[in-house]
Amino acid sequence: MQLEQIKKIGIAGAGTMGSGIAQIFARQGYKVVMTDINDSILEKSKKLVNIFNDSLIEEEIMSKDEIDVVIANISYSTDKAVFSDCDLIIEAIIEKMDIKQAFWKEVESIAREDAYFATNTSGLSINKIFDLVEKKERTIGMHFWNPPHIIPLVELIRGDKTSDSTVEVLKELLKTIGKEPVVVQKDAPGFIGNRLQFAAFREAMYIVDQGIATVEDVDKAMKFGPGFRYPVIGPLQTADLGGLDTFYYISSYLFNELSDAKEPPEMLRSRMESGKLGVKSKEGFYDYSDGKDELAIKTRDKMFFKMLKYIHMEQKGR
Ligand SMILES: NC(=O)c1ccc[n+]([C@@H]2O[C@H](COP(=O)([O-])OP(=O)(O)OC[C@H]3O[C@@H](n4cnc5c(N)ncnc54)[C@H](O)[C@@H]3O)[C@@H](O)[C@H]2O)c1
């Protein structure tokens, strides 16, 4: 199926991710049908979409007219039969292999022969998720980042049998909704984004554990050093601009010093085991008591919206 023929998107799982994904497709004029296991979850999803809409109006990223389009374009159902006339079905249900496999087996018996099948799994194997699907060339991983109505990256992950045209058409589709797709050429755990993120996370904890710097200074160094560069130039471009000879010399003595831990470190395990889970339990690496939790979320969201506005301007200028 060609890009122009894609008009209707089916979404399964009306939770955090499914609701955000519905919002971004509906906003660009696609008809979206959102499904879940019961009506009360669908009602909650409607409210969540309204919260996303309100924040985008408040930040002047969307107009009231555009919001009316979002609302009109999303319909809701608990019956998978609605997938029968969808051009693309995106699954954002619970992260459990057997449930995802059973879902797709059933959906293949309902959906059109030429409909695309995408899973938003965070890290399960794409090949395994679609194991029971017969026409595997139409299957793909489509990993949106949370919150999907804000973060531009979407990773498209090829399964062993995913066709080139499935990758190309869905990549173009994601561009039409203002996303920045990347292609993960094989079914590798962590795809791209989480591999990079967790390499930095492991090293950040190692630096603290080795007494090299405090938690605060590690975060500050990332935000104002490497992190300052990354929205503009990635790590490989950074090396090109710095000089590959210099990066070679640094790599030859520094790689040997970095963490190569194969297990989560003690400082993470002990916090988790004692219920220090971060913002949601008011303590993690930092203290979030006395309203500091809300402040942390508000500050993050404010800065994310600033970044989003900047990216919108960039995309318009391209
Ligand atoms: N939350 C994140 O940060 C994040 C980021 C990227 C990807 N993901 C992935 O997206 C998927 C959904 O995650 P989420 O955070 O939105 O979860 P969630 O718990 O908020 O929502 C999942 C929804 O799926 C529904 N569901 C469960 N089984 C179902 C079935 N058989 N048919 C239809 N609906 C069913 C549940 O009722 C629930 O409403 C998972 O695969 C997750 O790993 C999550």
pLDDT by residue (tens digit) across 207-232? 999 999 999 999 999 999 999 999 89
Quick check: 312 pLDDT over 80? no
Domains and CATH numbers, the chain: 3-184 (3.40.50.720), 193-231+261-317 (1.10.1040.10)
Contact 132, 104 (CB under 8 A): yes
Q: Cβ(100)–Cβ(117) under 8 Å? A: no
- How high is the pLDDT of residue 61? 86
Q: Can 194 be counted among the known catalytic residues?
A: yes
pLDDT value, residue 309: 84
What digits encode the pLDDT tens for the residues 59-88? Answer: 888 899 889 999 999 999 999 999 999 999
Q: Check whether the bond before 147 is cis (ω within 30° of 0).
A: yes
The pLDDT assigned to 17 comes to 96
Task: Please tell me if the CB atom of residue 11 comes closer than 6 angstroms to any atom of ligand 1.
Answer: no
State what percent of residues in the chain have pLDDT above 90: 88
254 CB contacts (<8 Å, ≥6 apart)?
A: none
Strand partners, 119: 91, 141
Q: Taking Cα atoms as reference points, which of 283, 266, 272, 285 lies closest to residue 206?
A: 266
List all residues 6 or more positions away from 245 whose beta carbon is below 8 Å from its beta carbon.
Answer: none
pLDDT higher than threshold 80 for residue 317: no
Question: Crossing angle of helices 193-209/215-224, nearest 10°?
Answer: 140
Of the candidates 66, 194, 203, 259, the residue annotated as catalytic is 194
- 125 as an active site residue: the answer is no
Percent above pLDDT 70 for the chain: 100
Q: Other CB atoms closer than 10 Å to residue 28's CB: what's the count?
A: 14
Q: Residue 50 and residue 17: Cα distance in Å, rounded?
A: 14
**91-132 pLDDT, tens per residue?**
999 999 999 999 999 999 999 999 999 999 999 999 999 999
Give this prediction's pTM: 0.94
Does residue 45 carry a catalytic annotation? no
Is there a contact between 136 and 162 (Cβ–Cβ < 8 Å)? yes
Which residue is closest in CA terms to ligand 1's atom 15?
Answer: 16
